[in-house]
Chains A and B, each alone.
Chain A
Amino acid sequence: MTPLDYAGYTMSAGDLIPLLPLLAVTATSIWVMMAIGVKRNYPFVLGSTVAGLLLAALLAKRLLTGPAPEAAPLLTMDAYAQFFTVLICAAAVGVSLLSHNYWTEFDDQREEFFLLLSLATLGAVVLAGANHFASLLLGLETLSMSLYGMLAYPAHSKRKANSRALESAVKYLILSAVSTAMILFGAALIYAETGSLAFAGLGGLPAGPGVEYSVVALLLVSAGVAFKLSLFPFHIWTPDVYDGAPAPATAYLATIGKIAVFIVLLRVVVETRSLGIAPVVIVFSLLALLSIIAGNLLALLQDNIKRILAYSSIAHMGYLLIAIIAAFYAEGPISIEAVSFYLFAYVVMTLGAFGVVSLLSSDALERDCISDYQGLFWRRPWLAAAFTGMLLSLAGIPLTAGFIGKFYLVLAGVESGLWLLLAALVVGSGIGLYYYLRIVYRMLLPEPEGAPQLRQGTAGFSIVLVLFVLLVLFGVYPASLMSLIESIAL
């Protein structure tokens, strides 16, 4: 085998078609950067970002139903990837519009936030199509690199909250780098064994008894991924980072930052289904179990909404992992559909929840204490209703997409007979109700005397309402989404 084997590799224009959404996001980034370079115009930058990302989403939507593209060396932009590209781009649009309100009073440059946001989105889209450790690395790090900037974005102004943003970014940077190193080391070990860096090459790992090497290699990668997904015991950064970061950045990290990794994970799992290295599956089950319990317990008596949501996201990642584990066992597509649907629902409800927080917050004043929401039901009924909807969806109550998602998870778990994990799901949901209801209850209380005026933001508010509508729509009539998801299953 000579090193020049692939020298004849060519890329035709046709090969670029599946990459169009990616290119659109890139173009958006470049366009925004240039726009900033020419003249700082906040509305224009915002508008450009939204328009560009929307375009990317529409392109991906268009490609979703098209013919399946051939697998490219680094990216597989199949229907699965396109579906999540739509989701990621749409969510990024949502975050952009939600953050509009947040930055209106910011006393420093606001435009770069959107540049970073579109770059991060680019990383996420790469992850959606990643089929290779190189693209995984690049996507992951593009996403993280932009997120560092977003998390620490308000670190400049002299306000108090900013040291928190800084702390959040530093913590995320260091820990994320450690986890990246773990992934890379594991990947290197896998490469040393199989000679391939593509996920498909994982099949070359020796399986069967006495496979410590494979197990360790895979577990190193898993640990890194578990960090990105904030699974127990790699969850510990989550609340601090969520808490300190500006709400829009948190929203971004909590939604796109999470699901992008999950998308890859699912792809890897599907590629390696036949691998069947039992210890890895067991470790995953353990991670899921502990995440569900720990996440819910940690959130139990929290008074900070961002932290509550952070902890609850730990638990939700545990729930999602159930479907991933189910995918290891089961032949059918249900577990993949379950993950897809739940990810969709997760984006909607998490974005909605953080959206409400962002909407009420600014860089000067983060409204993240539970007491800030007292009486919200009577002051801003629609916003409160939407927030309640999001929380109930997170709790998995019907009429919301979260319920259908949970139903899918249960179905996947039952299909594979994961009784213990299902029990954890039940117990975890029980504990979870407590803190979700606490927030809801606070909103129902009479409003406090002399409460400060709440901020208004039409764009963000409309996004929250759109999310609420989606939440209920796909909670009541999810058939269309279900069939779409069925068609994209790997």
Chain B
Amino acid sequence: MGAIPVEHGLILAGILFSLGLIGVLTRRNIVFVLMSLEVMLNACGLAFIVAGSRWEQADGQIMFVLILTLAAAEVAVGLGLIIQMYRRFQTVDINVLSELKG
């Protein structure tokens, strides 16, 4: 097995992180936003795996497992909120949630 430079793994994670951020920033559909968040969290997991692999430790993978848990819970709650929102506004447009301001 060839060793892969750490920076490449991290750079990939960075790219995915940024892409996820772009998704969160640009999408109006809240489901897309949630999906982009998943991308970001996944990028973090990737970064941990890369780092763990550098040190040959299990900790990176453990962190990934924890992130996975977190992502699952986050999605569950997020989707629950989306359902409520859809019931109330009949739309997934995130901009309807702008009653609170100022």
Contacts and interface: CB of A to CB of B under 8 A. Distances in A.
Interface of A: 1, 3, 133-134, 137-138, 141, 145, 148-149, 152, 155-156, 162-164, 166-171, 173-174, 177-178, 180-181, 184-185, 187-189, 191-192, 195, 197, 239-240, 243-244, 302, 307
Contacts of A302: 102
16 contacts: A141-B73, A163-B99, A166-B88, A167-B100, A178-B21, A178-B24, A181-B17, A181-B20, A181-B44, A184-B48, A191-B48, A191-B55, A191-B59, A191-B63, A192-B6, A195-B54
Provide the main secondary structure of the chain A interface.
Answer: helix
Contact of A307 (B44, B54, B102): B102
Given A174-B37, A185-B43, A192-B50, A141 B97 contact: no
B47 to A, nearest CB: 3
B33 to A, nearest CB: 6
Given A164-B99, A244-B100, A3 B56 contact: yes
Contact of B24 (A149, A174, A185, A307): A174
Nearest to A2: B56
A170 B81 contact: yes
Nearest to B44: A184
A178 B17 CA distance: 10
Contacts of A155: 81, 84, 88
Contact of B51 (A152, A173, A192): A192
Nearest to A243: B100
A195 B57 contact: yes
A163 B84 CA distance: 9
Interface residues of B, number: 50
A109 B11 CA distance: 48
Contact of A184 (B41, B55, B81): B41
Contacts of B73: 141, 145
A178 B37 contact: yes
Top 10 A-B pairs, shortest CB-CB distance: A188-B47, A192-B51, A184-B44, A240-B100, A181-B40, A195-B55, A167-B97, A191-B51, A188-B48, A177-B37
Interface string B16-27: 010011001000
